[in-house]
């Protein structure tokens, strides 16, 4: 189980979180910079060379830190910073120590953002599962975006700190959090959450608590919400669901669809290029697995 968990957040981040990562920061900065930051964000998201994106994103991290220095209690700004640090730590940080440091900062930002808007959240880290579940139910639709950010940054933190003994124990809390987010987000629900849920529900086989049928619904919903343009959702569908149930035909069909697709889609190009790289690797390994 730990082997599967080690890859879950990197997969989820590549699959679905790069768009809000940069878009959130841009919306904050563009008010003061006449749209420049928004255009720069779009340029990174539409970049077809991941190494270029890797080199570009840290400038945003320093920029958002500077904005927080001047306004340390702004939930939106804290949330934008949290998503940025978590995504970079999960996707691009090659060094384990650096990944831990970046994702720890991300989680601190996300918890502070949540705490500023919902005081009960200040104690989430110390609550047991029943207390946490009851508290999360009090989060309102107006706070849905902050809840989503805290959930993602918690996943990023858990991956980077997976060698610690109590890390996996937090998975039920993350599932509970995203279930509630789906209940309250309404039309603003992020397709990323469906990808996250599909991955989380296929980390374990059915005999050990996995829920593949429910996971399949989440993967298909994620694909539908992007009209099939988000290729990462199909890769995770193949990797999570199809491999778990040894459905070779579905596995190969999904991955071949990814490879045949045009990766260039506004706001999705970077994630799609990385998804196609993953699809090639999964197909190359398929004969050994099935």
Give the model confidence (pLDDT) of 16-38 as tens digits.
444 444 555 545 554 544 345 55
Average pLDDT, the chain: 85
Local confidence band at 41 (pLDDT 50, 70, 90 cut-offs): low
237 or 190, which is more confident? 237
The pLDDT, as a whole number, for residue 164 is 72
The pLDDT, as a whole number, for residue 131 is 97
The pLDDT, as a whole number, for residue 208 is 78
Q: pLDDT tens for residues 73-117?
A: 989 889 888 988 988 898 888 888 999 999 999 999 999 999 999
The pLDDT, as a whole number, for residue 245 is 94
The pLDDT, as a whole number, for residue 192 is 79
Q: pLDDT tens for residues 133-186?
A: 999 999 999 999 999 999 989 988 887 887 776 777 788 899 999 999 999 998
What value does the mean pLDDT take over residues 36-48? 70
Question: What secondary structure, in 3-state letters, does the chain show?
Answer: CHHHHHHHHHHHHHHHCHHHHHHHHHHHHHHHHCCHHHHHHHHHHCCCCHHHHHHHHHHHHHHHHHHHHHCCCCHHHHHHHHHHHHHHHHHCCCCHHHHHHHHHHHHHHHHHHHHHHCHHHHHHHHCCHHHHHHHHCCCCHHHHHHHHHHHHHHHHHHHHCCCCCCCHHHHHHHHHHHHHHHHHCHHHCCHHHHHHHHHHCCCCCHHHCCCHHHHHHHHHHHHHHCCCCCHHHHHHHHHHHHHHCCCHHHHHHHHHHHHHCCCCCCCCHHHHHHHHHHHHHHHHHHHHHC
Local confidence band at 128 (pLDDT 50, 70, 90 cut-offs): very high
Cα(117)–Cα(66) distance, integer angstroms: 21
Cα(134)–Cα(125) distance, integer angstroms: 14
The pLDDT, as a whole number, for residue 271 is 87
CA angle, 215 then 192 then 3, to 5°: 60
| Domains within the chain, CATH numbers bracketed | 2-223 (1.25.40.920)
Local confidence band at 189 (pLDDT 50, 70, 90 cut-offs): confident
Cα(139)–Cα(118) distance, integer angstroms: 7
The pLDDT, as a whole number, for residue 196 is 85
Cα(215)–Cα(211) distance, integer angstroms: 6
């Amino acid at each position: 189980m730990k082997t599967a968990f080690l890859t879950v957040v990197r997969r989820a981040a590549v699959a679905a979180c790069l768009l809000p990562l940069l878009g959130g920061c841009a919306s904050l900065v563009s008010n003061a910079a006449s749209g420049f930051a928004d255009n720069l964000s779009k340029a990174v998201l539409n970049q077809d060379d991941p190494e270029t994106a890797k080199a570009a994103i840290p400038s945003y991290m320093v920029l958002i830190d500077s904005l927080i220095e001047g306004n340390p209690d702004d939930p939106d700004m804290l949330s934008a910073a949290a998503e940025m640090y978590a995504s970079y730590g999960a996707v691009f940080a090659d060094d384990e120590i650096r990944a831990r440091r970046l994702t720890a900062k991300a989680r601190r930002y996300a918890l502070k953002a949540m705490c500023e808007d919902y005081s009960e959240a200040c104690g989430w880290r110390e609550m047991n599962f029943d207390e946490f579940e009851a508290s999360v139910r009090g989060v309102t639709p107006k706070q849905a975006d902050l809840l989503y950010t805290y959930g993602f940054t918690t996943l990023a933190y858990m991956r980077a700190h997976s060698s610690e003994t109590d890390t996996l124990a937090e998975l039920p809390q993350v599932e509970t959090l995203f279930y509630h987010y789906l209940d309250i987000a309404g039309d603003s629900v992020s397709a990323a959450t469906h990808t996250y849920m599909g991955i989380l529900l296929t980390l374990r086989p059915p005999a050990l608590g996995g829920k593949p049928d429910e996971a399949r619904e989440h993967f298909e919903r994620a694909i539908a919400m992007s009209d099939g343009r988000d290729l990462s959702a199909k890769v995770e569908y193949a990797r999570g669901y199809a491999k778990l149930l040894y459905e070779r035909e579905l596995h190969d069909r999904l991955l071949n669809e990814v490879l045949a697709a045009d990766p260039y889609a506004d706001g999705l190009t970077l994630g799609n290029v990385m998804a196609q790289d993953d699809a090639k690797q999964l197909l190359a390994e398929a004969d050994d697995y099935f």
